[in-house]
Structures are given as C-alpha cells and as structure tokens.
C-alpha cells in the first residue's frame, strides 16, 4: 500500500479544523471534531479536544473520503458508482463508527450486489447482525461458482460454519 506522507485531502482540508485524521495510506483529513461527534456514535466531542491532534485510523483514504461526506452538510456520494470492495469497506466503517445517516444506504447498496457478490454481502450482513440478508446471501452463494476453500478465506470461522450448515441443509432438501 502506498503511503502518502503529509498529503491532505482536497475535500476535507478545513484551515480551522481542530482534529486531523490520518488514513492507513497516510492522507490527512483536516476535519471538525464537532461534526464527527454529531454524526458518529464513536468520536468524542469538543470536550475532549486537543488542538491539531492527529488520529490514525486503519481505513484507507478512499473509505474515509466517502465516510466523512456523511458527516458534513453536502451531497452524499453516489455509491452505485463505486466498486464492491470499496463499498464493503465503507459499509463496515459506517457500522464501526456508528454513522447512522449512512447505515441504511450502505445496507441497501450491499443488498443490490447480493446476486453478483453473495459472499461479500454475507460477510457484511453476518458481521453486523443483518440476519435476513445473511439467509438470502448464504443461499445465493451456494449457486455461485465459489469453492469451500474460497469461502473459508472470505468468511470468519463462525460465519463459515453457518454457511456450511446452510449448504448442507439445502443440499439435503434438494435430494428429498
């Protein structure tokens, strides 16, 4: 992964920012702690302020660029135009940082990709407790050309076990 030392996001470069978020690839986002606190259940508000504090986050600059758009008064990103890997990363970040203004839209866009990427959707839904989506994604992934080995690499152990049990049950039902 390329590391962009001291690169600043063009969209999020407020000169009066009170916190700097650094992405995993080294891009700085000069943002306002108040916006983060208002639009996220995780970031502390101004009462915990340290001027020009740099906070390192594990997400890429691409993900944070999209995520922060939900925390400012501006147009939201067109998620239908981003690739599934980026959408999945954004959807996980939205859940992790409790950006409730984006949870449903991310969930809907993940759902829209269930036919083409059932295991990616299954992983997201299982991790965040969307059981109805899990059930459908698991069944759709059975028809996918994915192997058990590939699904084991994509899913966490507990979701892999659940996936295998659905595969077995569906296989038995087909034979009956």
In a domain, 154, yes or no: yes
In a domain, 84, yes or no: no
In a domain, 35, yes or no: no
Q: Assign 1 a pLDDT band (cuts: 50, 70, 90).
A: very low
Q: Assign 2 a pLDDT band (cuts: 50, 70, 90).
A: very low
Q: Assign 128 a pLDDT band (cuts: 50, 70, 90).
A: very high
Structural domain that includes position 175: 119-176
Residue listed under structure tokens 């984006």: 102
In a domain, 140, yes or no: yes
Average pLDDT on 56-78 reads 97
At 58, give phi and psi (nearest 5°). -80, -10
How far, CA to CA in Å, does 82 sit from each of 75, 86, 103, 111, 121?
16, 7, 16, 14, 15
In a domain, 30, yes or no: no
- State how many domains the chain has: 1
In a domain, 163, yes or no: yes
**The model's pTM:** 0.83
């Amino acid at each position: 992964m390329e590391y962009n030392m001291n690169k600043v996001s063009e969209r999020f470069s407020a000169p009066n920012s009170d916190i700097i978020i650094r992405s995993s690839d080294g891009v700085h986002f000069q943002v306002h702690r108040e916006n983060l606190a208002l639009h996220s259940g995780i970031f502390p508000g101004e009462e915990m302020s340290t001027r020009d504090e740099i906070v390192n986050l594990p997400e890429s600059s691409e993900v944070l660029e999209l995520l922060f758009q939900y925390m400012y008064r501006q147009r939201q990103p067109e998620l239908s135009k981003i690739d599934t890997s980026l959408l999945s990363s954004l959807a996980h970040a939205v859940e992790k940082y409790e950006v409730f203004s984006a949870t449903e839209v991310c969930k809907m866009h993940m759902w829209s990709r269930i036919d083409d990427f059932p295991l990616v959707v299954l992983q997201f839904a299982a991790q965040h407790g969307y059981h109805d989506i899990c059930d459908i994604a698991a069944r759709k992934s059975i028809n996918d050309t994915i192997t058990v080995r590939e699904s084991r690499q994509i899913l966490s152990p507990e979701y892999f076990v659940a996936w295998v049990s659905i595969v077995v049950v569906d296989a038995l039902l087909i034979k009956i």
